[in-house]
Every structure is written in structure tokens, then in C-alpha cells.
Chains A and B, each alone.
Chain A
Amino acid sequence: MAGSENITPTPGGPKQALPPKGFLTWYGGIHRLRDLHLRGGAFLGPGLLWLSVFLALPTLGLLALSFARRGDFGDISWAFTLENYRRLLGYGLFGWSPDYLIILGRSLWVGLVTTALCALLAYPLTFYIASRPPKTRTWLLFLLVVPFWTNVVVRTYAWLLILSPQLPPAKIMAFLGFIPAGAPLYPGSVATFLGMVATFLPFMALPLYSSVERLNWELLEAARDLYASRWQVFTQAILPQTRPGLTVGVIVTFIPAMAMFVVTDLLGGAKYMLIGNLIQHQFGQSRDWPFGAALCLALMFLTMLGLIFYRRYAGGEIGAAGSGRGKETRS
């Protein structure tokens, strides 16, 4: 039989089956190593180029800019100075004031609270969606994405309308005595977080849903079977399994929430100055680009710090918690 010749271990036979020197197999194909490197480079190249040109270079530019000085007419004078950072820390023309630090702290606070509220709301929401039949699930996820179709400014103006004195929410609050009659429900921190959560909930819910959908329910049952309380079921069975989704949700919510100024501006009023507003001011009205750059870098630093903190104390690596997921089989 001709076919059996390939399998029979004859001298020289197996050697022929090996790829020649300098070649290797890669997912069923036989390639030269150099070609594979080239191909990898070709795939990686465009993305790398894009990030270098539009992210890495501008960031380096910002770094350089943050050590420059504002010229008298809002131009940039290239002289190395730490003035912008000193100013950020509160050392200004009129002695020390914590204004900028307060703004930074407040931004951090707004980012943290928004992220926490979103996570708190996203858990029941995603469990509800995941528990629906497949067709309903698709619709609910679609509804979750619908707000993305409208600009955030327009959506926030809609909130102003909803919270206006003429509509039921404000009227009810006035009736209950929380606000004076005829007053709107904005500006204030309640309105701010209402708007922030409405804006960022999909950012948290979508990645979390991807984890909840693949949940191994047997672990929840095992926890119950082993006398766990409801809280222990959450911390021991649900949280470890949904941590990858939660981590992604925290990152994509926290970063933009820290820098958000549209929602906070409109719903929080002018007294709630955040770092987002401040940066916008430096590049806009004040024309103080070097100080704006320093603020940008401070924001990046704070965000990094927040994420490092999260990873150290809550998150773990993205995707790592999913590695132990059991096979979900039941006859």
C-alpha cells in the first residue's frame, strides 16, 4: 500500500517529514522565521505608527511644554522652569493656596464615586440582562448602547430639562421640602452624579456583562451548599468570576470620569470646578498652554495612581481571574 509508506519508520523517512533548516510550522503552515517576523511587523506596524504619532509624540510634547513658560501674549516661551508644577501645588503669586489641589482632589473624588456608583448599579443590571431569554437579552443590550448615539452635551441638556422646576421630579422634591418651591434640581452634587452615572453606566455595564454572561453558576451553588451567606456568595463566588469584566469597567469608567467637565459643568454649576474644566480653561480662555500641559500630566499621573491602587488592592490582572473557570457541563 502506497499510503502506509509515510507512516512506516524507515531510515530517512522521518527526516524528510521535518521542515528544512530555517523553517518552522506556524498554525499548520510552514514558514521561514524571517517571513514570520516580517509578517508580524506588518500587522503590528500601522497600530504602532498611529499610537506613536498621535499618542506617544503628543504626550512627549506635553511633557516638554509643561516645563515651558507662558509668554506675555499667551504664546509659549521655551525656557526650562518648574513654575507650572509649583503653581499646581499651590505656590502662586499671592502665597500658597490649595485651590488647584482641591480641584485635583475633587476630580479624583468625582471619578471614584462615579465609578463606584456605576459598579453598584451595573451588577444588578447585568445579572438581570443575563437572566433574560436570548432575544430579550439582545434588545436590552441594544438599549444600553442607544445613548451613545447622542452627543453627551445633548444628553446632559436633556437632564437639565428633566430636573427643571416645571417637571415632576423637582415638584415632588419641592413638595417634600428638600428644595424651595419653583427651584430646579440642579446645580448640585446629586444632579452631577445623576448625570455622570447616566453617562458612564454603559461603560461599566458592557464589560461587566461579558463576565456575568459566562458565569459558572455551579460555583454559586457550591458556595451555598457550603453554608455561605449571601454576602459570602458575592465575595467568594461572584466577585472572583466577574473581576475581569469589573476591572475593564473600572478602567474605562474611571479614566474619562476623572477628566469629564461637560456634565459636571452643566449639572454641577460653576462652583464645582474640576480638573477637566481647568485644563479646558488653560488651553482656551487663559491661553496658558504650559500650565495646561502640567495639569494634563498631573491628571494622567493621578489616573495611573488610581489604577495601580485598584490593581494592587482589588483588581488583580485583567483576565487572570478567569483562568480557573471550570467546564460547564451537566447531563
Chain B
Amino acid sequence: MTGQIELGLFVAQVQKSFGSHKALKGVDLEVRKGEFFTLLGPSGCGKTTLLRIIAGLELPDSGHVFLGGRDITRLPAAKRQVNTVFQSYALFPHLNVFENVAFGLKARNVEPPEVRKRVVENLEMLDLLGLEKRYPHQLSGGQKQRVALARALVNNPDILLLDEPMSALDARLRAQVQEDLRRLQRAVGQTFILVTHDQDEAMVVSDRIAVMKDGLVEQVGDPREVYSKPRNKFVAEFLGAANIIQARRDGGRVVTTLGSFDLSTAPQWDEGALAIRPEHILLGDAPQSDANWVQAEVREAIYRGQSLDLWLAAASERNDCLDPLRLRVRTHSKGRLAPGDQVSLFFPPEDLVALENRSLTE
């Protein structure tokens, strides 16, 4: 084992089935010590199952989980230095805030003065002082969530697991809590693993993201990498809107129905697909003969306040193309464009991503 693996969490070839449903089909992951790691994917992708395996609430059918260089695959939850913030928070309804937070320490027979000290410290950190005597049903959603966080963090876990902790909060509070959560993780310096299906949330909080689909990890990387350099169509589309364009390689360039493009990173295939984010396509006036420039007609303009989304029909180079390719472009909301307007589009070479060939068949 290398030093890095000894420090962090290492998941090796983990498989899990529920009846005939394969929830995890051999997952490999490495989570570094002290990072904010996110498992991102649609519901049913196996992310919660993986989290529960790391927590010790589920046994994998095969594969191993290492923590700090130790194989913890068959270690029960109560013996792992791992704590969980549950989706519904799972606060004990008959215990007040103080007793809830003190639960883990008391269960391990920590001395009462020490319990008191650590509970108060954590309540203070999460801005819960003064609520010690309240019962869970007397708390707001945000307060419950902070109690759940305090209850887990007070045990000083090697890893804090968060199972969709924002799903019960309303949208405005959620945005606030995401930033708070990120600051909290920076402050305590512990490893956080978050499960979410919300790509915005994943980007805001994470150091690194693992995008999951159908029981497999599709791509791991920091938010910028995963967003701007998606490996395949699924990742490209799950992390936000993307234009997917069929293409083939011709010498140093890539040829599509829209014309030929230069790419900063040449594709590995001869025939495949390109992806580009709507906001990466630029509008302008340009010599239309040049590579990476495309002529298009506005079909629909959607004003979104912070941006203007355009649905465009690109003029195909070949006249026999019956159905013009629909392109999505996101631009300044100051622009005044209406259906029927002709525009020139520039596709920057560094923003055009060649997807892996597997995506062609999906």
C-alpha cells in the first residue's frame, strides 16, 4: 500500500446486488484525507448504497473498503470511526438537542465533563447554542440538519458521510447551507463524503466529484474538470446542458455536419462525438469560412434573467441534411435576439471536448 492510500479511504472492486438488481458493479474509488468528496448521480445509480457500505450499514457482496490502510469491509458500523448525517436526519425524538449530540460520546462511555465540553464546542460551531433543551419536533429543518451534523462531528470521525442532507430544505436555504457546509469542512479539516443528485450542489461544495451511473463510476475529478472535460455523453449531460455533435476525424481536424473544427486535444477515435457547453459557444461577427465558425438561425430565445438561452438551427454544410442540428447557446441576457435572427457562432478549440467512443452507442 502506498502512503496516500493508508491515509484516506480506498474502495476496491465493490459489488452489491439486491435480488436481481445490481446496485454496484465493481466500484473503485480513492478519497484523500481531508477532502470534500461527492458521489453524484441520478437516483438508483448506487451512490447511497456505496455510502452505506462505507458507513458499515450494508455489506458488499465482494470487494473491499480500506480506511487508513486497514480493511474495514467487515467491521460493523459501531466500530468504525465513520459517522453519518442521514437523509431525514434521524434525530432521536425523545432526546433533546444536547442529548442527541452527546449520544455517540455517552455510548462510548466518555467522561461526563468531557462530553459536556465537546458537545458545547460543537453546538457553538454549528450555531446551536441556546437550543440545547429543545426537542427535534421543536426545530426548523435547518436546525435539525445542524443538530445532525453536530451529532456526527462531535465524535471526531475519520470520515463524515452525508446522505443527501439538503433534500429536505427549501431552495434558498439550501444554497446558503451548501456554502456553510463547505466552510465547515474547511474549518474542521475532516474528510466529508456527500451523496447528492444535484450537480450544482456537488460543484459548490466539492474538492472532487465522482459521477456515478448504473452502479459504476463514470468519471472522477475536480468540479472544473468534470464539468468542462466530461469523459462521455452521460457525464456531459448530467452536469448541465451540453451540445453533442457527431463527428469524424480528418487529418488534424474534426469534421461535422456543421463544418470542420480544430480541437486543442485531438480525439482518440476516427468517428465519435464532440461536446460543448452552451455558454462556451461565442456569438460574434466573423469570416464564416474559418474553422470553428458556424452560421445559425435563432429559433427560440428564452430569457432566464442571468442568461439568454437560444435554440438555434445551424446551417448545415451539406444541403441534403433534412433536419438541421439544434444547438443550444447561452449568452448574456443583455443581448436582444429574436427568432429568425442570423448569428455567427465561434466554438473555441479548448472548449470542444472529444467524448470517449463508448458514448456513441449510448
Question: What residues make up the interface of A, taking CB atoms closer than 8 Å to B?
Answer: 216, 218-219, 221-229, 232, 236-237, 240-241, 321, 323-331
Q: Is B57 an interface residue (CB 8 A)?
A: yes
**B52: nearest chain-A partner, CB-CB:** A221
Q: Are B107 and A228 in contact (CB under 8 A)?
A: yes
CB contacts (< 8 Å) of B108 on chain A: these are 227
Q: Are B90 and A221 in contact (CB under 8 A)?
A: yes
A selection of 11 A-B contacts at a CB cut-off of 8 Å is A218-B88, A219-B92, A222-B86, A223-B92, A226-B104, A227-B104, A227-B107, A324-B135, A324-B137, A330-B87, A331-B44
**A316: nearest chain-B partner, CB-CB:** B94
**B58: nearest chain-A partner, CB-CB:** A221
Q: Are A227 and B78 in contact (CB under 8 A)?
A: yes
Q: Is B76 an interface residue (CB 8 A)?
A: yes
Q: Are A326 and B90 in contact (CB under 8 A)?
A: yes
Within 8 A of A (CB), among B83-111: 83-84, 86-95, 103-104, 107-108
Q: Are A228 and B78 in contact (CB under 8 A)?
A: yes
Report Cα–Cα, A26/B76, bound state, in Å.
53
Interface string of B314-340 (1 = CB under 8 A from A): 000000000000000000000000000
**A237: nearest chain-B partner, CB-CB:** B92
In addition to A219-B90, A225-B152, A241-B93, 10 A-B residue pairs with Cβ atoms within 8 Å of each other are A221-B77, A222-B86, A224-B77, A225-B57, A227-B78, A229-B107, A321-B93, A324-B93, A324-B136, A331-B87
CB contacts (< 8 Å) of A321 on chain B: these are 93-94
Task: State the Cβ distance, A216 to closest chain B Cβ, in Å.
Answer: 7
Q: Are B76 and A216 in contact (CB under 8 A)?
A: no
**A219: nearest chain-B partner, CB-CB:** B90
Task: State the Cβ distance, A152 to closest chain B Cβ, in Å.
Answer: 37
CB contacts (< 8 Å) of B43 on chain A: these are 331
Q: Are A224 and B76 in contact (CB under 8 A)?
A: yes
Taking each of B55, B90, B151, which has the highest tally of chain A beta carbons within 10 Å of its own beta carbon? B90
**A241: nearest chain-B partner, CB-CB:** B93
Report Cα–Cα, A216/B83, bound state, in Å.
19
Taking each of B44, B55, B95, B103, which has the highest tally of chain A beta carbons within 10 Å of its own beta carbon? B103
CB contacts (< 8 Å) of A324 on chain B: these are 91, 93-94, 135-137
Task: State the Cβ distance, B80 to closest chain A Cβ, in Å.
Answer: 8
**A220: nearest chain-B partner, CB-CB:** B90
Report Cα–Cα, A236/B164, bound state, in Å.
24
Task: State the Cβ distance, A154 to closest chain B Cβ, in Å.
Answer: 43
Q: Is B155 an interface residue (CB 8 A)?
A: yes
Report Cα–Cα, A216/B92, bound state, in Å.
10
Q: Which of B48, B103, B136, B152 is close to A331, meaning CB atoms less than 8 Å apart?
A: B48
Task: State the Cβ distance, A37 to closest chain B Cβ, in Å.
Answer: 32
Taking each of B48, B55, B77, which has the highest tally of chain A beta carbons within 10 Å of its own beta carbon? B77
Q: Which of B107, B137, B167 is close to A323, meaning CB atoms less than 8 Å apart?
A: B137
Q: Is B168 an interface residue (CB 8 A)?
A: yes
Question: What residues make up the interface of B, taking CB atoms closer than 8 Å to A?
Answer: 43-44, 48, 55-57, 76-79, 82-84, 86-95, 103-104, 107-108, 135-137, 151-152, 155, 164, 167-168, 197
Q: Are A326 and B103 in contact (CB under 8 A)?
A: no
Report Cα–Cα, A325/B89, bound state, in Å.
11
Q: Are B103 and A236 in contact (CB under 8 A)?
A: yes
CB contacts (< 8 Å) of A219 on chain B: these are 90, 92
Q: Which of B57, B87, B94, B103 is close to A329, meaning CB atoms less than 8 Å apart?
A: B87
Q: Are A328 and B55 in contact (CB under 8 A)?
A: no
Task: State the Cβ distance, B191 to closest chain A Cβ, in Å.
Answer: 16
Q: Are A222 and B78 in contact (CB under 8 A)?
A: no
Task: State the Cβ distance, A98 to closest chain B Cβ, in Å.
Answer: 41
Task: State the Cβ distance, A47 to closest chain B Cβ, in Å.
Answer: 32
**A236: nearest chain-B partner, CB-CB:** B92
Task: State the Cβ distance, A327 to closest chain B Cβ, in Å.
Answer: 5
CB contacts (< 8 Å) of A237 on chain B: these are 92
**A221: nearest chain-B partner, CB-CB:** B57
**B80: nearest chain-A partner, CB-CB:** A225
Q: Are A326 and B91 in contact (CB under 8 A)?
A: yes
Report Cα–Cα, A131/B360, bound state, in Å.
45
4 closest A-B pairs by beta carbon, nearest first, are A324-B93, A226-B104, A222-B90, A240-B94
Task: State the Cβ distance, A132 to closest chain B Cβ, in Å.
Answer: 16
Report Cα–Cα, A160/B169, bound state, in Å.
62
With A324-B93, A324-B137: A225-B88 Cβ-Cβ less than 8 Å: no
Report Cα–Cα, A219/B43, bound state, in Å.
22
CB contacts (< 8 Å) of A222 on chain B: these are 84, 86, 90-92
CB contacts (< 8 Å) of B48 on chain A: these are 330-331
With A236-B103, A323-B137, A329-B87: A225-B55 Cβ-Cβ less than 8 Å: yes
Q: Are B107 and A328 in contact (CB under 8 A)?
A: no
Report Cα–Cα, A226/B92, bound state, in Å.
12
CB contacts (< 8 Å) of A326 on chain B: these are 88-91, 93
Q: Are A328 and B155 in contact (CB under 8 A)?
A: no
Q: Are B76 and A327 in contact (CB under 8 A)?
A: no
Q: Are B197 and A331 in contact (CB under 8 A)?
A: yes
Report Cα–Cα, A163/B129, bound state, in Å.
64
Task: State the Cβ distance, A218 to closest chain B Cβ, in Å.
Answer: 4
Task: State the Cβ distance, A241 to closest chain B Cβ, in Å.
Answer: 8
Task: State the Cβ distance, B198 to closest chain A Cβ, in Å.
Answer: 11
With A324-B137, A330-B48, A331-B164: A216-B107 Cβ-Cβ less than 8 Å: no
Report Cα–Cα, A227/B48, bound state, in Å.
21
**A323: nearest chain-B partner, CB-CB:** B137
With A236-B103, A324-B135: A225-B84 Cβ-Cβ less than 8 Å: yes
**A218: nearest chain-B partner, CB-CB:** B90
Q: Are B107 and A325 in contact (CB under 8 A)?
A: no
CB contacts (< 8 Å) of B168 on chain A: these are 327
CB contacts (< 8 Å) of B93 on chain A: these are 240-241, 321, 323-326
Report Cα–Cα, A323/B44, bound state, in Å.
31
Q: Are B137 and A232 in contact (CB under 8 A)?
A: no
CB contacts (< 8 Å) of A216 on chain B: these are 88, 90
Q: Are A224 and B89 in contact (CB under 8 A)?
A: no
Report Cα–Cα, A329/B89, bound state, in Å.
11
With A216-B90, A236-B92, A327-B88: A226-B151 Cβ-Cβ less than 8 Å: yes
Task: State the Cβ distance, A147 to closest chain B Cβ, in Å.
Answer: 34
Task: State the Cβ distance, A214 to closest chain B Cβ, in Å.
Answer: 13
Task: State the Cβ distance, B354 to closest chain A Cβ, in Å.
Answer: 33
Q: Are A224 and B57 in contact (CB under 8 A)?
A: yes
Q: Which of A232, A241, A329 is close to B107, meaning CB atoms less than 8 Å apart?
A: A232
